[in-house]
Amino acid sequence: MKGYVHNIEKEALENENFRKVLYTDAKVQLVVMSLLPKEDIGQEVHENLDQFIRVESGKGTAVLEGERFFIEDGSAVVVPVGTRHNIINDSDVSMKLYTLYSPPQHAVGTIHKTRADAMAAEEHYEG
């Protein structure tokens, strides 16, 4: 199907995987993520893409270029190309979110059950 039409809030809240790619085309990618309590995405910099993150449940911290921001259900984070960033789940429950990458960041259909799986796969992916 060209395009994507689903209830993204439901998709994000029901996702139990660290990362699950839902949709990819040439210019954009939609991904749901679930961060375990006290887990983070990991500090990173995307040299060739912009990222949008929307928190659906949980509380934590967004770090952009060393500046810390409180985030919770309903928070949006825009990460421009070249920005050092991290998302940290500071709570005792899973943080559910979705993210858009432009252009795509991960292989089509990617599912990483855990952060460790994601880190291992990224060492081998040349996206």
Residue 80 lies in a domain: yes
The answer to whether position 127 is within a domain reads: no
Of 8, 95, 10, the closest CA to residue 55 belongs to 95
118 — pLDDT class (breaks 50, 70, 90): confident
Coil, helix or strand at residue 38: coil
Tokens of 29: 């990618």
Say if pTM beats, i.e. exceeds, 0.85: yes
* Residue ranges making up the domain that contains 59: 8-122
Asked if the structure places residue 92 within a domain, the reply is yes
Which residue from 75, 8, 69, 79 is spatially nearest to 45, judged by alpha carbons?
79
pLDDT of residue 126 exceeding 50: no
CATH code of the domain in which 28 resides: 2.60.120.10
Residue 1 lies in a domain: no
d(CA 121, CA 72): 28
pLDDT score at 70: 98
- Stated as kind and residue range, the H or E segment containing 96 is strand 95-102
Q: Tens digits of per-residue pLDDT, 76-105?
A: 999 999 999 999 999 999 999 999 999 999
Q: How confident is the model at residue 124 (pLDDT cuts 50, 70, 90)?
A: very low
Q: Per the structure block, which two tokens stand in for 70?
A: 């409180």
Task: Say if 3 falls within a structural domain.
Answer: no
Tally of structural domains, the chain? 1
Residue 112 has pLDDT above 90, yes or no: yes
For residues 119 and 82, give the distance between their C-alpha atoms in angstroms, rounded to a whole number: 20
Distance CA 65, CA 84 (A): 5
Residue 21 lies in a domain: yes
Answer whether residue 22 shows pLDDT above 60: yes
The confidence score (pLDDT) of residue 121 equals: 83
* Cα–Cα distance measured from residue 97 to residue 54, given in angstroms and rounded to the nearest whole number: 6
Tens digits of residue pLDDT in 33-66: 999 999 999 999 999 999 999 999 999 999 999 9
